[in-house]
């Protein structure tokens, strides 16, 4: 959808009459679709007696509610910031066969901010290689630890897609697009002592989000949006949003589910310490090349082979058999039979 600016004379008139009356935040787009999904699953519950289906639906509802809980705490901070902001909650943009699923887009007078929300259980350690490790303790004893895909890289990839889309559509030119990862679980201890400055600057607790925005607003910027321009921009982003399809329903919940289960399944009598898995940049690139090769051969879009969410799940789980591959989101029996062996071979070559 190309961004259509008004004519030159209209722009001149808008510039002459535009003001800075906005003093408090405006919620331009709500995340209504997650609530609608919950209602959909509840209706399905009423019409099934199958115990396994009921269990699956209850799990989906719980996971969506868990994700919304973290995002709502971020929304509360933004709405009570007393800053001139336009807030868009849950934005999906599709561009060049890639999809960016963004928890929040916040438009300020000086920049756009992309926010990735994490409602993780356990403590988070970022080591000197900027690898993210989630840890769980039983008392003072480390009971479990697991590496996971860098949320900083995740949000930066969202920015790359979003910025490319906005520039190609003519919506932005010089506008800075910043990004942060916000952790919302108050019990989570985040240790970034050994992390690079780049990563440290990207990680926030939810109660530090507003202060971060205030600090960034004090910095110089090549743009300064007045009220009309902010409204024009935010309405364009809202109109660019892709609504849920059936294949998208679990995209927001898979990661939460994985992190929740790894702690809930630990017991006092059966505690193991899992080796930390680092971020596998080479593996990611190899899987992307494999996906593109298949897409070219089949004359398909790359995301029809498997989505970026599936890619993230592959990097997280690193399955080493076809049975393990069945646990990866977005890969059904047909795809596994078609090219699952190729994925397994790539993963094994990079371990």
Indicate whether 243 and 290 sit together in one domain.
Answer: no
User: Distance between CA 114 and CA 103 in Å, rounded?
Assistant: 8
**For position 330, what pLDDT does the model report?**
85
pLDDT tens-place string over residues 147-165? 888 999 999 999 999 999 9
Give 264 or 294, the one with higher predicted confidence.
294
| pTM check: above 0.95 | no
Domain of 297, in residue numbers: 281-349
Same structural domain for residues 89 and 29?
Answer: yes
| Cα Dmax for the chain | 74
What SS3 state is found at 165?
helix
The more confidently predicted of residues 117 and 304 is 117
Q: Residue 9: inside a domain, yes or no? A: no
Contact, 100 vs 161, CB < 8 A? yes
Domains identified in the chain, total number:
2
In this structure, what are the phi and psi dihedrals at residue 61, rounded to the nearest 5 degrees?
-60, -45
Residues 204 and 290 in one domain: no
| Position 11 confidence tier, pLDDT thresholds 50, 70, 90 | low
CA distances from 259 to 93, 102, 119, 234 (A): 26, 19, 9, 33
Strand, helix or coil for residue 136: strand
- Residues 178 and 83 grouped into a single domain: yes
Q: Are residues 121 and 160 in the same domain?
A: yes
In a domain, 5, yes or no: no
Encoded tokens for 344: 């397994």
Q: What pLDDT is stored for residue 54 in this prediction?
A: 86
Does 160 lie in the same domain as 99? Answer: yes
Q: Is the pLDDT of residue 29 over 90?
A: yes
**Residue 305 belongs to domain with CATH number:** 1.10.150.80
What gap in Å lies between CA 276 and CA 167, rounded to an integer? 39
User: Are 187 and 244 in the same domain?
Assistant: yes
Whether 124 and 164 map to the same domain: the answer is yes
| Residue in 127, 131, 130 with CA at minimum distance from that of residue 278 | 131
- Mean pLDDT of the 54-80 span: 86
Considering only 24-33, 50-59, 239-248, 337-346, which range has the smallest mean pLDDT?
239-248
Same domain, 164 and 307: no
Tens of pLDDT along 206-245? 999 999 999 999 999 999 999 988 999 999 999 988 765 4
Looking at per-residue pLDDT, the higher value among 247 and 188 belongs to: 188
Q: What integer best gives the mean pLDDT of the chain?
A: 83
> Would you state the pLDDT for residue 2?
55
Bridge partners (DSSP) of residue 80 are: none
DSSP state of 243: P
At 259, the pLDDT band (50, 70, 90 cuts) reads very low
DSSP per residue, 301-319: -HHHH--HHHHHHHHHH--
Question: Does 200 lie in the same domain as 303?
Answer: no
- Output the pLDDT for position 206: 94
Residue 60 covered by a domain: yes
The span from the CA of 48 to the CA of 63, in Å, is: 20
In a domain, 274, yes or no: no
Closest CA to 184 of 62, 70, 69: 70
Question: CB-side exposure of 259: number of CA atoms within 13 Å?
Answer: 24
Q: What tokens does 297 get?
A: 């051969």
Cα 304 to Cα 290: distance, rounded to the nearest angstrom: 13
Q: What angle do CA 177, 181, 186 make, to 5 degrees?
A: 145
Could you tell me if residue 167 is inside a domain? yes
- 28 and 127, same domain (yes or no): yes
Same domain, 28 and 166: yes
């Amino acid at each position: 959808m190309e961004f259509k600016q008004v004519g030159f004379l209209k722009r001149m008139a808008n510039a002459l009459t535009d003001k800075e009356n906005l003093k408090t935040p405006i919620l331009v787009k709500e995340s209504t679709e997650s609530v609608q999904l919950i209602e959909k699953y509840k209706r399905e519950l009423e019409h099934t007696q199958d115990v396994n289906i009921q269990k699956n639906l209850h799990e989906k509802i719980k996971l969506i509610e868990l994700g919304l809980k973290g995002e709502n705490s971020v929304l509360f901070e933004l709405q009570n910031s007393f800053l001139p902001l336009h807030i868009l909650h849950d934005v999906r943009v599709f561009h060049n066969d890639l999809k960016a699923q963004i928890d929040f887009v916040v438009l300020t007078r000086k920049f756009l901010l992309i926010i990735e929300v994490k409602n993780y259980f356990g403590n988070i350690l970022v080591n000197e290689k900027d690898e993210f490790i989630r840890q769980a303790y039983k008392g003072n004893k480390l009971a479990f630890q697991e590496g996971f895909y860098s949320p900083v890289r995740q949000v930066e990839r969202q920015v790359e897609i979003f910025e490319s889309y906005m520039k190609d559509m003519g919506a932005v030119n010089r506008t800075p697009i910043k990004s942060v990862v916000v952790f919302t679980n108050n019990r989570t201890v985040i240790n970034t002592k050994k992390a690079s400055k780049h990563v440290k600057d990207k990680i926030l607790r939810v109660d530090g989000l507003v202060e971060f925005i205030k600090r960034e607003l004090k910095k110089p910027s090549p743009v300064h949006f007045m009220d009309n321009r902010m409204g024009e921009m935010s309405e364009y982003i809202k109109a660019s949003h892709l609504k849920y399809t059936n294949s998208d329903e679990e995209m927001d919940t898979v990661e939460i589910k994985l992190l929740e289960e790894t702690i809930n399944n630990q017991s006092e009598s059966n505690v193991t310490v899992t080796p930390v898995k680092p971020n596998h940049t080479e593996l990611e690139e190899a899987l992307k090349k494999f996906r593109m090769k298949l897409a070219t051969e089949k004359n398909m879009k790359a995301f029809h082979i498997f989505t970026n969410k599936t890619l993230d799940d592959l990097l997280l789980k690193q399955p080493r058999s076809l049975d393990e591959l069945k646990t990866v989101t977005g890969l059904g029996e047909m795809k596994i039979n078609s090219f699952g062996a190729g994925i397994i071979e790539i993963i094994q070559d990079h371990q």
